[in-house]
Structure 1
């Protein structure tokens, strides 16, 4: 005859869930804040002296991770599809690169091709392959398409070392700020 494991207390489970929810909210807010401050500091360090990465170490000096800058990307972005489609139709009237619905649009495969050419050129311009004329593409601008950010790369054993430092209280100063304070939104 096997004994059933003791039933968990509903009150204990409710308490655990409430505590973890508050902790998760506070951790998420703290992470968002520190990520923004880290990004500003990395951007400033790169501008100042070319620094693109920094080590993350525990209070005892053990490096557990590396924070690395990821550069953003810039490329062509369609801001007025209708204007671009009219222009493509005007420039290449014999080609079936556009289709008429309620408004004229550029077929997705051709739009991808045209935007790829503009991205390669770094400008909202195309070269007419027949005449060689450089054409400005209306309804397209070159602007950031992905923001600069940064990433964490853990060293082997880094996660475990952080967990152990947390468990033993070595990170109590860093963690106290997360649990201190007023109501989380």
Structure 2
């Protein structure tokens, strides 16, 4: 293949890549909204993806953020840690960040947030509710990628319908 042919392929592939990236982002947003709606209406978290001939190729699943414990009153929390875990307070009177991360990770996400050893409510902490899912995972089934490639190759999937390019004319 000549340099000119390689250069043409690069230009064409770049246009296709940009178009695919734009369509992919648009479709991801649509799928995420659809999955959120299905969760709200049907308590559905996953959906199986199939080719037009019903051959399964992947699974889409909402990724649920987990609720987390956060410090809402640094001063109250620091005072509590100084009293209950004095070795974990630095001389500048703050909780060591590494210990704080580990400690918060061990706490249950129930109000009031309590010391796991004494059951005492810990001042300065509250539970932050989990947000709406912001993403989903796509896991191809075994052989799914190959089935998609084969469907594209034999024409069962029409790339022109999946990826309409701006500026083209319909035949």
TM over 0.5: yes
Pick aligned residue for 2:22 from 17, 26, 29: 29
8 Å contact 2:71–2:77 — kept in the other structure? no
C-alpha contact 1:58 1:162 (8 A) present in aligned 2: yes
Give me the CA root mean square deviation: 2.9
Which has the larger Rg? 1
Q: Once the 2 structures are TM-superposed, how far is the Cα of residue 43 of structure 1 from its aligned partner? A: 1.6
2:5 and 2:111 mapped to 1: Cα distance? Answer: 61
Secondary structure of the corresponding residue to residue 67 of structure 2: strand
User: CA contact under 8 A between 2:80 and 2:122: conserved in structure 1?
Assistant: no
Deviations 1:65-112 (A, max 9, x none): 222233222212457xxx52x3344224351322245xx432133202
Q: TM-score, normalised by structure 2?
A: 0.76
Q: Judging by fraction of residues, say which structure has more strand.
A: 1
SS at match of 1:121: coil
Report the Cα offset of residue 162 of structure 1.
0.7
The aligned residue for residue 47 of structure 1 is 40
TM-fit CA distance, 1:122: 3.2
- Answer whether contact 1:73 1:146 (CA < 8 A) is retained: no
Q: Which residue of 2 aligns with 1:3?
A: none
Matches within 5 A, 1:3-152: 8-78=1-71, 84=74, 86-93=75-82, 95-100=86-91, 104-118=93-107, 120-123=108-111, 125-127=113-115, 133-137=120-124, 142-144=128-130, 147-152=133-138
Instruction: Look up the SS of the partner of 1:72 in the other structure.
Output: coil
**Aligned pair in 2 of structure 1 residues 109, 166: CA closer, same or farther (>3 Å)?**
same
Taking a change above 3 Å as real, the CA distance of residues 149 and 143 of structure 1, as seen in their structure-2 partners, is: same
The answer to whether the 8 A contact 2:47-2:61 is kept is yes
Indicate if the aligned counterparts of 2:76 and 2:123 stay in contact, CA closer than 8 A.
Answer: no
Aligned length: 165
Return the match for 1:169 from 133, 152, 155. 155
TM-score scaled by length of structure 1: 0.71
Corresponding residue of 2:166: 181
Q: Which runs of 5+ in 1 are unaligned?
A: 1-7
